[in-house]
């Protein structure tokens, strides 16, 4: 069943609906394929129709990214190489994912957490304390950009558009835009720092 439909089927289940959202987001963030990708957006749309509370959806989704990220990191650190090198039809794809992820870490540093599976962070032996912080930031950016935007779009699509609905869409887009701008700035700083290290100043002070 599609994850949006699964969330919808539980929309009347009270706390169970939020537990389902948490579990699906956590599984997707941990690295389980095809799970969690649309859960936040789908739950936000359900909230726009009054089936769920948008605040609770955002909170459990952020918690899901945090727990799922740490689980994926732990699996990657302990068994990642074994899993990725296990023979099978997807061996080449898995190995390419690790190679690409490690290249991103070498190029972008901690910002690579935003663009690689959490398991790769464990394989790359990123410090747990650093990963926990950056994974939380990545989860916040994802949830607070997708959630409000989907909530506002759901309102508008059903003819219930208002200033608040449009504001939610703008807020979601703004979060993504600010995160992108800060990410670009961070990458530039990393490159500049590496350039200074690889090309130290050679000017010597004139003799006295």
User: Helix, strand or coil for residue 130?
Assistant: helix
pLDDT on residue 83:
76
pLDDT on residue 2:
47
d(CA 24, CA 19): 9
pLDDT on residue 86:
79
Cβ distance 149 to 47 under 8 Å? Answer: no
Let me know how many helices (H) and strands (E) the chain has, helices first.
8, 0
Give me the average pLDDT of each 10-residue run along the chain (208 residues).
48 77 92 77 91 93 94 88 78 79 75 82 86 92 92 84 80 86 75 68 52
d(CA 187, CA 182): 9
- What are the percentages of helix, strand and coil residues in the chain, rounded to 5? 75, 0, 25
Which residue carries 């994912």 as its tokens?
97
83: CB partners within 8 A, 6+ apart: 75, 94, 119
């Amino acid at each position: 069943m599609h994850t949006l439909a699964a969330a919808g089927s539980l929309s009347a289940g009270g706390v169970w609906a939020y537990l389902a959202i948490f579990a699906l987001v956590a599984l997707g963030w941990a690295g389980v394929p095809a799970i969690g990708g649309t859960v936040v957006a789908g739950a936000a749309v359900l909230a726009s129709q009054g089936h769920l509370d948008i605040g609770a959806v955002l909170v459990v989704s952020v918690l899901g990214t945090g727990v799922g990220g740490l689980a994926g990191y732990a699996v990657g650190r302990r068994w990642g190489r074994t899993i990725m090198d296990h023979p099978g039809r997807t061996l080449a794809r898995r190995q390419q994912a690790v190679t690409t992820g490690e290249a991103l870490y070498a190029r972008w540093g901690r910002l690579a957490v935003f663009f690689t599976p959490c398991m790769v962070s464990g394989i790359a032996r990123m410090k747990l304390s650093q990963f926990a912080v950056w994974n939380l930031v990545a989860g916040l950016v994802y949830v607070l950009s997708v959630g409000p935007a989907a909530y506002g779009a759901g309102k508008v699509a059903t003819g219930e558009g208002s200033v608040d609905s449009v504001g939610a869409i703008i807020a979601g887009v703004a979060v993504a835009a600010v995160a992108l701008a800060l990410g670009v700035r961070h990458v530039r700083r990393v490159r500049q720092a590496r350039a200074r290290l690889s090309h130290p100043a050679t000017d010597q002070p004139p003799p006295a």
